[in-house]
A and B are shown apart, each in its own frame.
Chain A
Amino acid sequence: MEKSVFIVIPAYNEEKMIGKVIRELKENNYNNIIVVDDGSKDSTSKIVESLNTNIITHIINRGQGAALQTGTEYALRKGADIIVHFDADGQFKAEEIKNITQPIVNEEVEVTLGSRFLGTAVNIPHSKKITLKLGILFTYFFSGLKLTDTHNGFRALSRDAAQKILITQDKMAHASEIVDEIKKKKIKFKEIPVTVIYSEYSKKKGQSIFNSIKIAFNLIIKKLAK
């Protein structure tokens, strides 16, 4: 029986790109789309509704991690077999969803993590590259996992994995938390080459190095508090 694939897109003030992203997904025959509007102040919701697409709206902004967990829980309630996390800013290619879901469909692994360093990072700024490489080092010391790309929002989870992984980091530390959950819960995973396109638009929305320090701090505090 064919597995149902749900695409979860966390969105915050993405009126410029969300329409294009949804249209591209539908052109690639992905119709189970769940957009989580994380308290946007612009027309993100209206655009999604006009495209007859599922939308969940956080009444106040909680962060990308929170939005992903909301979307994942909703997808599970709707019977998703595979859940794909996909960014709303047009950085990812819809046609690569097939590559990222195939190892889960084949039951080789339960989670696939996109890697721009195995794939292609188009127009990646130097500062971003350095920040991401530092992130890889941090993840290795923090979670013990050796990955080529630790902060990539393009990932796929089997139903089982989505039920086991709990995202409690509301903001950007969720990416590292997911990796930590994979290690703790001994979930089989694989990295898949993906393309990440850095447009002028997405570069403006990207994370600074100060945010990376904040992410590391939040993760360490969480570990100490346990």
Chain B
Amino acid sequence: MTIIQIILILFIIFALSRVFLRLKEGTISWKEFSFWTIVWTTGIVIVTNPKIPGRISYTIGIGRPADLILYTSTALLFYLVFRIYIKLNQMEESTTKIVREVSIEKARKNEPKSNKNN
């Protein structure tokens, strides 16, 4: 095993421990725990078996395994950014709903008594 493999494995074990801690704290769900465990475990498998990306990329038709990892990572990152953008939009909508309720309640309490409809 090379030094870089050892460093990467140690980093992945650290990352996995953080994921496990977040699950214990309750800040991530079982679904999210499973997802990140699969991601990091896949990382360990690839780091300890560096020929695997080569075999996969050859099968798919991509020249270099590094390119395969780059394309996969880029696609995954784009998807995650999209999901984050959606989540942000949902949070904005929720904020607006709260601001709206507060403003309407306040307006109803302050309605001028002389205000009559047409």
Asked whether B25 is an interface residue with its Cβ less than 8 Å from the other chain, the reply is no
- In chain A, positions 1-54 with a C-beta closer than 8 Å to chain B are 2, 4-5, 29-32, 36, 52, 54
Point out residues on A near B: beta carbons under 8 Å: 2, 4-5, 29-32, 36, 52, 54-60, 62-63, 66, 69-70, 73-74, 77-79, 168, 170, 221-222, 225
**Docked-complex contact B117 and A60, CB < 8 angstroms:** no
Asked whether B2 is an interface residue with its Cβ less than 8 Å from the other chain, the reply is no
Q: Which of B92, B103, B112, B118 has the most CB of A within 10 A?
A: B103
Q: Provided the pairs A52-B112, A170-B93 are in contact, do residues A77 and B118 lie with their beta carbons within 8 angstroms?
A: no
- In chain B, positions 88-115 with a C-beta closer than 8 Å to chain A are 89, 92-93, 95-96, 99-100, 102-104, 106-108, 111-112, 114-115
Q: Chain B, 36-77, contact with A by CB distance < 8 Å: what is the 0/1 string? A: 000000000000000000000000000000000000000000
**Docked-complex contact A4 and B117, CB < 8 angstroms:** yes
Q: Provided the pairs A170-B92, A170-B93, A225-B86 are in contact, do residues A73 and B100 lie with their beta carbons within 8 angstroms?
A: yes
Asked whether B85 is an interface residue with its Cβ less than 8 Å from the other chain, the reply is yes
| Chain B residues touching A, majority SS | helix
Residue of B85, B103, B114 touching A58 (CB-CB under 8 A): B103
Closest residue of chain A to B107 (Cβ to Cβ) is A56
**Docked-complex contact A66 and B100, CB < 8 angstroms:** yes
Point out residues on B near A: beta carbons under 8 Å: 85-86, 89, 92-93, 95-96, 99-100, 102-104, 106-108, 111-112, 114-115, 117-118
Q: Which of A5, A62, A63 has the most CB of B within 10 A?
A: A62
**Docked-complex contact B89 and A221, CB < 8 angstroms:** yes
Distance in angstroms from A206 CB to nearest chain B CB is 23
**Docked-complex contact B89 and A58, CB < 8 angstroms:** no
Distance in angstroms from A1 CB to nearest chain B CB is 12
Residues in B with CB closer than 8 Å to A77 are 104, 108
Identify 8 residue pairs between A and B in the complex whose beta-carbon atoms are under 8 Å apart, listed by A's number.
A52-B114, A56-B103, A57-B107, A58-B103, A59-B103, A62-B96, A69-B100, A170-B92
Residues in A with CB closer than 8 Å to B93 are 168, 170
Residues in B with CB closer than 8 Å to A66 are 96, 99-100
The 10 nearest A-B residue pairs measured at CB: A56-B107, A66-B96, A70-B100, A225-B86, A56-B103, A62-B96, A58-B99, A4-B117, A58-B103, A170-B96
In Å, the complex CA distance between A62 and B97 comes to 10
**Docked-complex contact A62 and B95, CB < 8 angstroms:** yes
Closest residue of chain A to B87 (Cβ to Cβ) is A225
**Docked-complex contact B103 and A57, CB < 8 angstroms:** yes
In Å, the complex CA distance between A63 and B100 comes to 12
Q: Provided the pairs A32-B117, A222-B89 are in contact, do residues A60 and B107 lie with their beta carbons within 8 angstroms?
A: no
Residue of B86, B99, B115, B117 touching A59 (CB-CB under 8 A): B99
Residue of A69, A168, A221 touching B85 (CB-CB under 8 A): A221
Residues in B with CB closer than 8 Å to A62 are 95-96, 99-100
**Docked-complex contact B99 and A32, CB < 8 angstroms:** no
